[in-house]
Amino acid sequence: MVEHTDGVPLRVVSYNIHSQRDDTAALAAVVRAAAPDVVIVQEGPRRFRWRQKTAALAESFGLVVAAGGLPSLGNVLLTSLRVRVTDTRCGRFPLTPGRHLRGVAYADCVVGRGARFTVAGSHLSTDPAERPGQAALLKRDLDAATLPVIAGADLNEGPDGPAWATVAAGLTDAALAMDRADRLTFSCANPSRRIDALFVDPRIRVVDYDVVDTPQTRRASDHFPVLVDLLLPADG
């Protein structure tokens, strides 16, 4: 990408890939066509041979693995070679008996002329009683980050929900920034909800936002990918 005089461009995709249970060739084609610098994956590899599967997923996208997998319970961060990863960490939310364990992946990165940022990816519970507590833990970590934050998540609720409000507080909802909150992300079979979001630090400028709805994306997963172009402060 060509760097701007007022910042460093970064293209980000946040994508629930449905555990690769759909058309994986279409999935790879969708991501490659987007040519992202960072992909925030929900429902990525998290079980047997997860390292090999995560590496294969990254290779199919033309990217490399930054963080995530089993330690973050299927949340995976992938980057292009343009992005340098300086630190990573993973977390898990407390387990509610009888429910699925959920987690989060983080990576501190540098791109371009020293633009530093923290990228986070998470997938909150389908249980409305469980989500607010998970959102509070995620938000605590986001607030503690010293670098400008980019957070992609499948929140499993819409913008009117309490967990969404918790995560969004003090951050920019990329869809709202571009006046495109009407772009629905789930499901591909019957688009009816915006439950996938990308939030960014106010120091980061949102240049463009889209939910990619094409015949390929409808074959690739049960969620549409969220595609966002950002402009990072060069002194991150």
Over the stretch 92-146, which tens digit does the pLDDT of each residue have?
Answer: 999 887 778 899 999 999 999 899 999 999 999 999 999 999 999 999 999 999 9
In terms of residue numbers, what domain contains 205?
Answer: 8-232
pLDDT band per the 50, 70, 90 thresholds, residue 2: very low
Q: Report if residue 3 sits inside a domain.
A: no
Cβ partners under 8 Å of residue 172, min gap 6: 199, 200, 201, 202, 204, 206
Q: Rounded mean pLDDT of 177-187?
A: 98
Tell me: pLDDT of 216 over 60: yes
Q: Report if residue 2 sits inside a domain.
A: no
187 cis-preceded (ω within 30 degrees of 0): yes
Q: What CATH number does residue 53 fall under?
A: 3.60.10.10
**Furthest-apart CA atoms within the chain: distance in Å:** 52
Q: Report if residue 83 sits inside a domain.
A: yes
For the chain, how many structural domains are there in total?
Answer: 1
Q: Rounded mean pLDDT of 220-231?
A: 98
pTM of the model: 0.96
Q: Rounded mean pLDDT of 56-80?
A: 97
Q: Report if residue 36 sits inside a domain.
A: yes
Backbone angles phi, psi at 117, to 5 degrees: -155, 160
Q: Report if residue 1 sits inside a domain.
A: no
Tell me: pLDDT of 164 over 60: yes
Render pLDDT for 38-49 as a digit per residue (tens, 0 to 9): 999 999 999 899
Q: Report if residue 101 sits inside a domain.
A: yes
Q: What percent of the chain is modeled with pLDDT above 90? A: 92
Kind of pairing between the strands at 103-111 and 115-123 = antiparallel
Q: Report if residue 58 sits inside a domain.
A: yes
